Amino acid sequence: MKIDRLFVQSIGKNPKNQALTKGIIQMAHEIKAIASGVETVAERDCSPQNQCDEMQGYLFSRPLNAKAFQQLLFS
């Protein structure tokens, strides 16, 4: 399950969205929860507190084509 950027970017800023996001993650643990659109260190640091399984977003890498991804993977 991927959690939309709208919720990820409001983590730590909007208590209602944070509570909703935490509830979604708790319900999704049986399938795997992925925080999508992680762009800041604060968002990255809040995701594990909410027990998110995986993260993706510009903080880690911009979108890459296959060749660039292979170069990143093997560097």
Each residue's pLDDT tens digit, 45-70: 876 667 788 889 999 999 999 999 99
Cβ(52)–Cβ(25) under 8 Å? yes
* Closest C-alpha among 7, 47, 52 to residue 31: 52
Q: Stretch 36-52: mean pLDDT, rounded?
A: 82
Is the per-residue pLDDT at 26 higher than 80? yes
pLDDT at 59: 94
pLDDT at 21: 83
Q: Stretch 11-38: mean pLDDT, rounded?
A: 83
pLDDT at 71: 94
pLDDT at 1: 75
